[in-house]
Amino acid sequence: MGRTTVLVTGGAGFIGSNFVRFLRTHRPDYRVVVLDKLTYAGRRENLADIPEGEYFRFVRGDIADRPLVDALFAEERPDFVVNFAAETHVDRSILEAGEFIRTDIWGTWVLLEVVRHRGTGRFLQVSTDEVYGEILEGSASEGDPLAPRSPYAASKAGGDLMALAYHETFGVPVLITRGANTFGPYQYPEKFIPLFITNAIDNEPLPLYGDGRQVRDWVYVLDHCAAIDLVLHEGKVGQVYNVGAGNERQNIEVARLILRLLGKPESLIRPVADRPAHDRRYSLDTSRLRALGWAPRYRFEEALAETVRWYRTNEGWWRPIKQGEFAEFYRRNYGHRLG
Ligand code: NAD
Ligand code: TYD
C-alpha cells in the first residue's frame, strides 16, 4: 500500500494553510498536495515552514482549470480531497461577484467532475454557515433550507448543492462541513478580526458596520481544522456537518475586547454605513459534529488573545499585504464610509 495522499485545494489561504500544518503534525505519514491559484488571498509563504518532497508538494493552479486538475489527479491519485479553494470575502462579492461564481461554483464542479471520472476515497467540501442566511432565532441545523443573502453565500450554496447532487447522481463520496466565522493566525486582514487588530495597532479607525450589534458564532481556526479532519475520516458520506463552537458575540463586544487586549482607546471605533443585506446573526446547531466526538479545545477570549499576539509579533506578514492590492480594496470599500 502506498502512502495516503490528501489533495488540499486553497491550501495557501487562511484555514487551508492552518489545515496543512495540522495534517503535518497529526498525520505525519500523509502526503499533502496543495493546489492553489495564489489569488490576492493566497500566499506561498504561509507554508514556507514546510519543506517540499515526499510528504509535501505545492502546485500553483486554478481548480477551474480542468486539464490541470485532471493531470494532477492522474499523477497523484489522491485518497482524500479537501476543497478550501474559494473567493471568501462578502464585501468583495458585493463589489464584484464574477470570480465567486467562477471559483466557488464552477471550480467546485470541475473538481467534482474529475473526482467522478478518476475516483477518490472522500471529497470534503469546505462550506460556511452563511448558506443558511441570517438566523434571527434558534440555531441552524444541517437539514434547514438554504437562504443565502450575499453573492458570496449564494456562490457557496451553489457549490454545496452541486456536491450533494454529485453524491446523489454519480455516487461521488461527498462530505460537507459548514463552518462558523473563523479566526486565528494567517487570516487576510480584510476580515473583521484581523482588520480591527491591525488597524488598532496603527491607531487607525475601526470601521464598525451599522449598529455593531450583529452576532457571529466564532470558532478558532485550530478547532475548525480538527473538525474538518474528523469529518474527513469519520463522517458519513453524503452528510453535512455544521462546525461551530457556540461563541456568539456581538461585533461591538469583539471590537472592545481587541482594543482592551492592545491597550487602545474605544474612541478608535468608528460606526460607518452598514453593509447591504448584512446578516444580523449566525448560530449553528453542532450536535451532529459533537456526536462524532468533536468538542472545541480553545476558549474564545484566550484564542482571541493568542490571535492578537500573533498579529503583534508578525507585522512582517501583514504590513506588506496592507500596502499592496489591499490598499486599493480598502479605498473602494471604505473610502466613502470613512469620508
Ligand atoms: P482565504 O480567502 O484565506 O483563502 C482562499 C484560498 O483559495 C487562497 O489561498 C486562494 O489563493 C485560493 N483560491 C481562490 N480561488 C482559487 C482557485 N480558483 N483555484 C485554486 N485556488 C484558489 O479563505 P479562508 O478563510 O481560508 O476560507 C477557506 C474556505 O473555508 C473557503 O471555502 C470558505 O468559504 C470556507 N469558510 C471560511 C470561513 C472563515 O471564517 N474564514 C468560515 C467558514 C467557511
Ligand atoms: P467578516 O469578517 O467580513 O465575515 P462575514 O461577513 O463573512 O461574517 O465580518 C464579520 C462581521 O463583522 C460581520 O457582521 C460584518 C462585520 N464587519 C464590520 O463591522 N466592519 C468591517 O470592516 C468588516 C470587514 C466586518
pLDDT band, residue 134 (cuts 50/70/90)? very high
Question: Can you tell me the distance from the alpha carbon of 188 to that of 325, in angstroms, rounded to the nearest whole number?
Answer: 12
* Residue 1 pLDDT: 57
Would you say 129 and 179 are in contact if contact means Cβ atoms under 8 Å apart?
yes
Counting every residue, how long is the chain? 339
The atom of ligand 2 lying closest to the CA of 275 is 15
- pLDDT, one tens digit per residue, over 83-102 is 999 999 999 999 999 999 99
Task: Indicate whether residue 15 lines ligand 1 (CB < 6 A).
Answer: yes
Question: Can you tell me the distance from the alpha carbon of 94 to that of 19, in angstroms, rounded to the nearest whole number?
Answer: 28
Task: Indicate whether residue 254 lines ligand 2 (CB < 6 A).
Answer: no
Give me ligand 2 centre to Cα 192, in Å: 5
Give me ligand 1 centre to Cα 202, in Å: 27
The atom of ligand 1 lying closest to the CA of 88 is 2
- Residue 75: is its pLDDT beyond 80? yes
Pocket test for ligand 1, best of 8, 88, 321 (most atoms within 8 A of CB): 88
Question: Can you tell me the distance from the alpha carbon of 109 to that of 127, in angstroms, rounded to the nearest whole number?
Answer: 14
Strand pairing category for 182-183 and 247-250: unpaired
Whose Cα sits closest to atom 5 in ligand 2?
A: 90
- Residue 32: is its pLDDT beyond 80? yes
pTM: predicted TM-score of the whole model, two decimal places:
0.99
The atom of ligand 1 lying closest to the CA of 183 is 40
User: What ranges do the domains of the chain cover?
Assistant: 5-183+217-243, 192-216+247-276+300-328
Q: In terms of CATH architecture, what is 5-183+217-243? A: 3-Layer(aba) Sandwich (3.40)
Q: What percent of the chain has pLDDT over 70?
A: 100
Check for a shared fold between 5-183+217-243 and 192-216+247-276+300-328: no
Pocket test for ligand 1, best of 7, 9, 14 (most atoms within 8 A of CB): 14
Once rounded to an integer, what is the mean pLDDT over residues 28-33? 98
The CATH number given to 192-216+247-276+300-328 is 3.90.25.10
Question: Can you tell me the distance from the alpha carbon of 28 to that of 54, in angstroms, rounded to the nearest whole number?
Answer: 11
pLDDT band, residue 339 (cuts 50/70/90)? confident
Whose Cα sits closest to atom 13 in ligand 1?
A: 85
